[in-house]
Amino acid sequence: MIKNIEYTPEKALQAGRRTIQAEAQALMDLHDRLDESFSKAIALLLDCQGRVVVMGLGKSGHIGRKISATLASTGTPSFFVHSGEAVHGDLGMVTGRDIVIAISYSGNSNELSTVLPVVRRLGTKVIAICGHPHSDLANLCDVFLDASIKKEACPLNLAPTTSTTVALSLGDALAVTCLEARNFGESDFARSHPGGALGRRLLTYVRDVMRQGDELPLVHPNIPLPQALKEMSLKRMGMTAVINDKNEPVGIFTDGDLRRLIVRHGDIRHFTMHEVMSSHPKSITPDELAVEAASLMEKNKLSHMLVVDRQGTLVGAMHMHDLMVAKVI
């Protein structure tokens, strides 16, 4: 059984800083020796007609999963295949149109040494992330990326620590360089992350959140205010749009307008909508991003906004709460 030794806060800080320093130095060494092999790897990835298949075993496998996920989310279609499973059937996922990124620090993984000759016979190109340039993996690959380190951060020089950090950094460098080469932008990223905050902001349009049809409170200018209040209560939007015979908005009346009207006049039953509505209401088209509507509403201190098509016809309306429910804001 492993027994803990007496470990002071000072010793803990020293160990933590020593680990980070060792890994930071290894990354700087990687930075300094990056060469044309990296450029060749990028050329292969950009020319890939299929998928980028990342392979690894053990800790290298964990790093490979992350690299594959980063590639896939930044415009380079990719998936991970455990090299141990590849020798038992999963190799059928790989085609000659694909590119394989094989990760092994020693470069002498039995599984990769078995799989890669078969892969290469398919015509599949292989990029190696490896720490030993004279290993089996180095001899089987088309492009060798030197992931060597002087020493693991682990004081026993056994647990993969610095070596996995270097491999992960190389994978990130490949993904980001491909991203830049493909001019992969925010909208592309959002399509890969529709459930994230950026995805919602860049993929959610006004038409996706607006209320329309029977949910839309509508009255005409000559309608008595009590009748309009009934429509507002029924549709529960805290407002009603006021439209003309062409279904064009000519005004809006909100709960706030109602409260201010009562304060000024007391008895409000004799008013018509034409007398109490706010004319020239702010509007937006359904094809605008919902985040633009939120910005416009915030700028003008509005709780509601009408939605009109390019002909000026009313097609919907929304409340700030609708944008909150859609997690746009």
Q: What is the pLDDT of residue 269?
A: 87
Q: Classify domain 206-325 at the CATH topology level.
A: CBS-domain (3.10.580)
pLDDT at 325: 84
Q: Architecture of 9-184 per CATH?
A: 3-Layer(aba) Sandwich (3.40)
% of residues, the chain, pLDDT over 90:
64
Q: Report whether pLDDT(30) > 60.
A: yes
DSSP state at residue 5: P
Across the range 127-135, mean pLDDT stands at 95
What distance in Å separates the CA atoms of residue 136 and residue 204, rounded to the nearest whole number? Answer: 50
pLDDT at 1: 57
In the predicted structure, residue 153 carries a pLDDT above the cut 60: yes
Give Cα separations from 228 to 71, 131, 216, 239, 316 (angstroms): 56, 76, 13, 9, 18
What pLDDT shows up at residue 249? 94
* 9-184 against 206-325: fold identical: no
Given a cut of 70, is residue 130 above it in pLDDT? yes
Helical residues (DSSP H) of the chain, grouped into ranges: 9-33, 36-47, 59-73, 83-86, 110-121, 136-140, 162-181, 186-192, 197-203, 206-209, 225-235, 255-265, 273-276, 290-299, 320-325
In this predicted model, what pLDDT tens digit does every residue of 196-229 receive, in sequence order? 555 566 668 899 999 999 999 999 999 999 999 9
Structure tokens given for 209: 């959140």
- Residue spans of the domains in the chain: they are 9-184, 206-325
Instruction: State the pTM of this model.
Output: 0.66
What is the per-residue pLDDT for 324? 85
Q: What mean pLDDT is predicted for residues 270-299?
A: 90
Report pLDDT digits (tens) over 31-54. Answer: 999 999 999 999 999 999 999 999
| More confident of the two residues 185 and 251 | 251
